[in-house]
A and B are shown apart, each in its own frame.
Chain A
């Protein structure tokens, strides 16, 4: 699985986001948007995150994962709906010509630092 590699990227991005003039800070949370269609297992990612943040500025930080539903738009009839099963055709007109609107996210939205 690739969760360890992804956790390493998380740490890199989050560390770079900490303002350089801040010393001895405690990062409390790393907020991550994770689309349900991405092939990342949340528990596995949390586990990897915890391991590799030890001894870093992010030690003890919580990885908050906001899971994003898979939504699609039909290019033929403009219908928008949430995909919950494995069927990727339009709910209304059955067209397969659809665009995935959300559900593939894998991005850090913010980090939270303890107030002094």
Chain B
């Protein structure tokens, strides 16, 4: 006997993500989900980004990591509220799920911020699958990684609204074809904005920050 079910396996997460999204809209907070593979320089990029946007945009950060608080400690120095989430409490998960974000938000005064940045667990596979109730997604890639990463992880690049190609300061020392990397990103997601920058030197940071500010502004005016 066959019993029809037709149920989304991630339905529970999707429902929770919708609740998060409604909460963020009500509180007028723009939420950016930042994803990358480990070591792409996401935390350095965040540090630099926070310092630049801080005077104008009140921001808080949720940092996901499997077991350390190293990234959160680094970001807390900038003065923004940082909430660390270790996923090993949730079984060493490779991603942040919607319920984890909801719980982390209990420690953030949403009324006092305009922007919430979620630094997701370093991984190009799993986080792409989990909606956390964000408004936009950005994926960070570095020039020290293969040019073909977008082709290997198409779901991540399809689901993001912006891509950052970080560590361009290393280009003189590497045999890296940035053009090819950007082309590969655009193959998977045509028309996606790609920001080539060096978080370390600050080179190219401006257009990324303009993009972010514009998105926050749009949400606040909506």
The interface of chain A, by Cβ under 8 A from chain B, is 1-2, 4-6, 9-10, 13-14, 17-19, 32, 37-40, 86-89, 95-97, 100, 104, 106-113, 115
Chain A residues whose CB sits within 8 angstroms of the CB of B154 once the complex forms? 37, 86, 88
Interface size class of B (residues with CB under 8 A): 35 or more
Chain B residues whose CB sits within 8 angstroms of the CB of A96 once the complex forms? 186, 189-191
CB–CB B191/A109 < 8 A: no
CB–CB B2/A1 < 8 A: no
Contact pick for B6, options A5, A38, A88, A109, CB 8 Å: A109
Known A-B contacts A88-B188, A112-B1; the reply to A37 vs B126 at CB < 8 A is no
B66 at the A/B interface (Cβ < 8 Å)? no
CB–CB B190/A1 < 8 A: no
B80 at the A/B interface (Cβ < 8 Å)? no
Known A-B contacts A89-B187, A96-B190; the reply to A14 vs B155 at CB < 8 A is no
Chain B residues whose CB sits within 8 angstroms of the CB of A13 once the complex forms? 5, 7, 9, 11
B95 at the A/B interface (Cβ < 8 Å)? yes
Chain A residues whose CB sits within 8 angstroms of the CB of B186 once the complex forms? 96
Known A-B contacts A86-B150, A88-B188, A96-B190; the reply to A39 vs B6 at CB < 8 A is no
Known A-B contacts A13-B9, A88-B187, A107-B8; the reply to A38 vs B155 at CB < 8 A is yes
Task: Report how far A37 CA is from B160 CA in the complex, Å.
Answer: 14
B203, chain A: closest CB distance, angstroms: 28
CB–CB A111/B150 < 8 A: no
14 contacts between A and B (CB under 8 A): A2-B93, A2-B129, A38-B129, A39-B126, A39-B129, A88-B187, A88-B188, A96-B189, A106-B8, A108-B9, A109-B5, A109-B6, A110-B2, A110-B5
